[in-house]
Structure 1
């Protein structure tokens, strides 16, 4: 039995599946970005509801990986430093490094503590003032906004023993890099929380230059299915565009507030993204006023 069988809006999912089944375009290739969208597609077996001519991939399958082996190696190195405590989300425990995993380091007695978010890491730092507490930050603007708020709080509190290892990415640069390299991709689905941070303008070059559509989607199964259907319509009508799947949540006020917070803490930088190599303007660097929290500038990495 699929989880979708008990989903309250299962009929809406079936409706969009039926609409897509009635369409007769060429093969379509769509890339989704973001862990939450990826997890819900897998959790609800949504690919089973798509026509055979629709392929949905994610950035990880394309080699667009930030949390690679070198990332894990660096975290393992931080965890082994004297009087250091590594705080991480649980998902990092199983990620492979070059020689081992963080779970193996934990089993050897290294001080690694699982927390839910950056605020949880700051709680550890507040209780362990004599230790250097490191927390890895990675992901798109949805995660970046949480980081920005956390670092603003850390600055207000005056932490001197709390540090972050930064690998945040700019979603629009990632999408552009994929569009340039993967010519057969027809469109992209972006997480809503990213779109509320960036607005549609950040992706304007994707339909204009690359003739590929972008839908900023909610996370529910019916919303993901609708987003796929919207991209198929754009392809069928040759009208690629950047649109919100949830138009009622796309207010300028929300976008501007989120953008201000990100720009307060971060500035643009280049980043290496696994198989894609160096992506110009693809990352976020912590601004000077918050640089004291950057572990790579703290003198003990």
Structure 2
């Protein structure tokens, strides 16, 4: 009986049927995406107490999950989001809960994964390449974990990208309880950052309980490999930075205005062989 029930809930979707199949999925459904290009798949205003699972290993797509709860994504190539605003996000989570990604590939887009006002998000073994701006943005979100993931080969032009960048906004919520573990960032981008600002006298709010641990950063022209500002009860340990050949600045790991924080066993990169003509280090914080 159990096997029969599972078989009944498993289904295959094609680029033509995928949106309808997801829209009508029952709790616990297993959906396999057949090989093909799915364009943008949108999940909006759906709550599954027992999460649905989408096996996207054979699919190329873009994805938006909005005001929805309970989705597991396995595999998938999320690619080709080169438009303005949300059309430039390979994956968008907005006001979403209990979303998991297992081994996704994100490439050739403006941004990889944008996590906006969402909670209980888990990303494991993501491969992020050929971004024009950022790999992952975590904005006003809570309980987000990114592990064993990598950023490389960004094509950024004059942009100031990050592999993973976090921020808070006072009208949208504080980013809290984020864990970045065993991640890797190599190339023309900053690594793992959380910047805070005071705008017209209003503080963005900083961060609570951020952990960045056992990660590696190597930047070509971005000195802040790992940076956290205005963080409370945060942990930055066991990370290593490398200054790549030809870099103008030393790759660094640092915190600023950190309260009750644990910061140890981190290794900065070496000083570059040649110093730039100016000692001014750019603040490559492009936060929106």
More helix by share: 1
Structure of greater Rg: 1
Whether the TM-score (by the shorter chain) exceeds 0.5 is no
Which structure would you say has the larger RCO, counting Cα contacts within 8 Å and 6 or more residues apart? Answer: 1
More strand by share: 2
